[in-house]
Structure 1
Amino acid sequence: MRAVTRVLTAVLATSAAASFATSATPAPGWRIDRVVVVMRHGIRPPTKAEPLPAGLAPAPWPAWDVGWGELSHHGEQAVTMLGAFDRATYAGVLGSGCPAIRAVADTDQRTVRTAEVYVAALLPGCTTSVDHEAAGQRDPRFSPFDGTSPLTNAETAAAANAALPQGGASRLDRDLADDWAAIDHILDCHASPCIAAKPTVVSANGGRVKLGGALATGGSFSETLALEYADGQPLAQVGWGRATRDTITHLLELHSREFALTARPPAIARAGSSALLGEVANALSAPDAPPFSLFVGHDTNLALIGGALGLHWKAPQFAPDDPPPGGALIFERWTDGSGRYRLAVRFRSQSLDEMRGLTPLSPAAVQTLRFAGCADTAGCDAAGLRSALQPGGPPLAK
């Protein structure tokens, strides 16, 4: 508890964050009156004891201080810094006291606990409940393909294959030969290749893209290395002492490439983000919505929204379009007080070193994303806001 308090005090002592909300202001006289944060959970261990296929790990994996897939204690402190940072940024929206906000999370421990820790730092001394379905129950806002999908397997596979380079999966594997070699070095594979010997395979099942082979293994492994590093584990244990931070940043391209096939193709992205984007649209446009809303889900949710809205980001020390632990898409509604609105979209994330060292976020933590949906000279009314977040397909739920 004292460690979390020290982190919170350190962040609140910095005033730089307060300037970020005023960057890219639509025009003089406009102000933010609504904020919606769609955030990935914080740092966690792998979701299972053996993150790689049997026989690939050259030695036992590092130990973690929580169960598989749960928010780590170090991750709690990193999330605390994010909540304090966002409080400083959006102090004008939150006001004083204990404002009514809405906080929603998926059912996993890591998402619920991330929301709880974030809200405690966002509104210190206040009591705010986090809404979520019962543990083990599917929430279609965060798990859109666990059950039914509006896409057939053929449509899903076609969308994913269209995102491959000319020459298909075999060309992709050839393009990534240096990455496979880097992973083989970390895995201490010398006699024969470990990763490149397993060609990437793209298929579909239940409306969800299924990856097999090198990219599936490499993408998962690159994130495991990043999580070990971000959690502050000794460097001698990160990748068994054979993975530097620069190597991890480079290999995270594989994690981003996974999303380019499984979540960002437009048809898949629209189908997978519709329910959550409907919530975002309502939070921005409904007359009775609170001034601040939070949705905590997974990296896939950010990738789906990014693909649906054509958003691209580059978090410090991560690959382009990779959603880091605690990373967030932030939707700001700006008003001039006359019923006109505009929408600004930003991406906020710690760097790998900021996560590892629990150091204050730098100005590079916030990026204004290119999104023209509701930023024209005339502004948008509430219906325009909803339309801006409707990337084709059927209308968003009212």
Structure 2
Amino acid sequence: MRLLARFSAFALAALVAAPAAAQASGETLEKVVILSRHGVRAAMSSPERLETATARPWPRFSVPPGHLTANGGTLSTLFGAYYREIYTRQGLLAGADCGQVYYWANVTQRTIATAKALGEGLSPGCAVDVHTVGEGKADPLFEPVKAGVAKADLALARASVAGRVGGNLAAWSAGHGDAIASLDELLMQCGAAPCPKAPGKRRVYDEPASFLDDADETVGISGPEAFASGITESMLMAWADGQDFAGQGWKGLDEAALLRVFPLHQAEFDLRLRSREVARTGAGHLASKILATLETKPGKEAIGGPDAKMVVIVGHDGTLAMLGGLLGMEWVAPGYQPNQIAPGGNLVFERWKRADGVRVIRVRYAVQSLSQLREKKPLTLAAPPSASPIFVPGCSEASFDCPLDRFGAVVKGATAR
């Protein structure tokens, strides 16, 4: 963890120093695409359903299930204001031109509201126009199979997933024993796992690991990891929203406890969504659209008009997970698991023109820390979010620069069947 903290500090220092370094080296930032997860939302399940898995009452959200909370909107606006500050300093954004940033979101309330909230900080004084495909329609960026731009081969996808665990989900799950015990102790508030069974309660231990046959677009998984995935995400959202767990009688729930139980969610997410065939089907169209947007002469496949300096796309954690798996991109941030996508976390693609005339793509993952989320801390160049530079396999150089033409080749190669 000390090594991780030192690396993160180095990355943050490099990011803060980037404006001056770019000016001194003659580099020019030309285009930015931000792919963001929506901000802090209410739990997808009802409190009553969540309480079947816990010994203590569950905090109540003030908005319907799955909706962006008021705190979530505030946190997204803080993130947008940070990007306004850094990209104004880097010379990408200037003045009050309201056409500099183009916003696209999936059709859910939480994604549209997140885009609007980001825009309040990123495009202050502007009427933020969030583009969508329209209510009731499937967006190809986020649901390519339902939208008809991709066809899922579930047998191949399942083989892609099964091949990563030797076809044995039970053996894979057995490796998560410590995290399973930590979650059981936290949810059931006992001293040592396995906690005693209680009438009407679901336990993380109770469901055997297995593949599901009813998945329609991805590969379904059941077991402790799948059980934990939903419950720990709800816990993360409530924690980030500032909910009072201690007031509900919970003991031992803090950032350290969250970090101990996050591995279960991340293991399930990584296996189910980052596996090659799942990621190719789910994120291939999105990757092609991002490439078209970053190219110097964007064609009709680009998102936003040619005059947009920035394009902000707001989707879901699965959106980022599948794109990361497709392109082999890895990241880590303090307080989270490797490749974990916290609320509001985003992948940033920047197109730079270096002093030698070469255009390169620089990619990073940026996210607010757990304390920045819970305490709604303003983000500034002096107090930035966590930033992790990303190495794109087959493209990035030792400097992390990824030449634009090679980035295009990587995307095209990854999306080809």
TM-score relative to the length of structure 1: 0.86
- In the alignment, which of 236, 240, 254 is matched to residue 230 of structure 1? 240
**Is residue 37–residue 293 contact of structure 1 (8 Å, CA) maintained in 2?**
yes
SS in structure 2 at match of 1:392: helix
- In the alignment, which of 298, 306, 314 is matched to residue 296 of structure 1? 314
Residue in 1 that maps onto 2:121: 121
Relative to structure 1, is the Cα distance of residues 260 and 74 closer, same or farther in structure 2, using a 3 angstrom cutoff?
same
Relative to structure 1, is the Cα distance of residues 128 and 191 closer, same or farther in structure 2, using a 3 angstrom cutoff?
closer
Structure 1 residues 55-66: aligned runs within 5 Å: 55-66=52-63
Q: Deviation string for 1:183-235 (max 9, x for gaps)?
A: 22223273249212211222453331112121111111111111111111113
**Is residue 52–residue 217 contact of structure 1 (8 Å, CA) maintained in 2?**
no
- In the alignment, which of 196, 214, 218 is matched to residue 191 of structure 1? 196
Q: Deviation string for 1:308-335 (max 9, x for gaps)?
A: 1111111231111011100000000011
Query: Deviation at 1:263?
Result: 1.1
Residue in 2 that maps onto 1:5: none
Aligned residues: 379
**Is residue 302–residue 329 contact of structure 1 (8 Å, CA) maintained in 2?**
yes
Matched letter for residue 160 of structure 2: A
SS in structure 2 at match of 1:32: strand
Residue in 1 that maps onto 2:3: none
Relative to structure 1, is the Cα distance of residues 175 and 137 closer, same or farther in structure 2, using a 3 angstrom cutoff?
same
**Is residue 161–residue 168 contact of structure 1 (8 Å, CA) maintained in 2?**
yes
Relative to structure 1, is the Cα distance of residues 376 and 167 closer, same or farther in structure 2, using a 3 angstrom cutoff?
closer
Matched letter for residue 179 of structure 1: A
Residue in 2 that maps onto 1:162: 163
Relative to structure 1, is the Cα distance of residues 187 and 128 closer, same or farther in structure 2, using a 3 angstrom cutoff?
closer
Residue in 2 that maps onto 1:343: 361
Query: Deviation at 1:131?
Result: 0.1
Query: Deviation at 1:77?
Result: 1.0
Residue in 2 that maps onto 1:333: 351
2:336, 2:349 → 1: CA distance? 22
Superposition CA RMSD, Å: 3.0
1:277, 1:24 → 2: CA distance? 29
Query: Deviation at 1:376?
Result: 5.4
Residue in 2 that maps onto 1:153: 154
Residue in 2 that maps onto 1:393: 415
1:147, 1:52 → 2: CA distance? 31
Query: Deviation at 1:50?
Result: 5.0
Query: Deviation at 1:128?
Result: 2.9
- In the alignment, which of 346, 353, 365 is matched to residue 386 of structure 2? 365
**Is residue 256–residue 322 contact of structure 1 (8 Å, CA) maintained in 2?**
yes
**Is residue 44–residue 65 contact of structure 2 (8 Å, CA) maintained in 1?**
yes
**Is residue 316–residue 350 contact of structure 1 (8 Å, CA) maintained in 2?**
no
**Is residue 145–residue 151 contact of structure 2 (8 Å, CA) maintained in 1?**
no
- In the alignment, which of 66, 71, 74 is matched to residue 69 of structure 1? 66
SS in structure 1 at match of 2:388: strand
Q: Deviation string for 1:111-138 (max 9, x for gaps)?
A: 0000001011001111231101223321
Structure 1 residues 220-259: aligned runs within 5 Å: 220-236=230-246, 240-259=250-269
2:24, 2:272 → 1: CA distance? 38
1:238, 1:200 → 2: CA distance? 31
Matched letter for residue 353 of structure 1: S
Relative to structure 1, is the Cα distance of residues 154 and 197 closer, same or farther in structure 2, using a 3 angstrom cutoff?
same
Relative to structure 1, is the Cα distance of residues 391 and 120 closer, same or farther in structure 2, using a 3 angstrom cutoff?
farther
TM-score relative to the length of structure 2: 0.82
1:386, 1:238 → 2: CA distance? 52
Q: Identity over aligned residues, as a percent?
A: 29
Bigger shift: 260-269 or 48-57? 48-57
2:24, 2:211 → 1: CA distance? 47
2:214 matches 1:209? no
**Is residue 211–residue 222 contact of structure 2 (8 Å, CA) maintained in 1?**
yes
- Structure 1, unmatched stretches of 5+, are 1-15
Query: Deviation at 1:94?
Result: 1.3
Residue in 2 that maps onto 1:175: 175
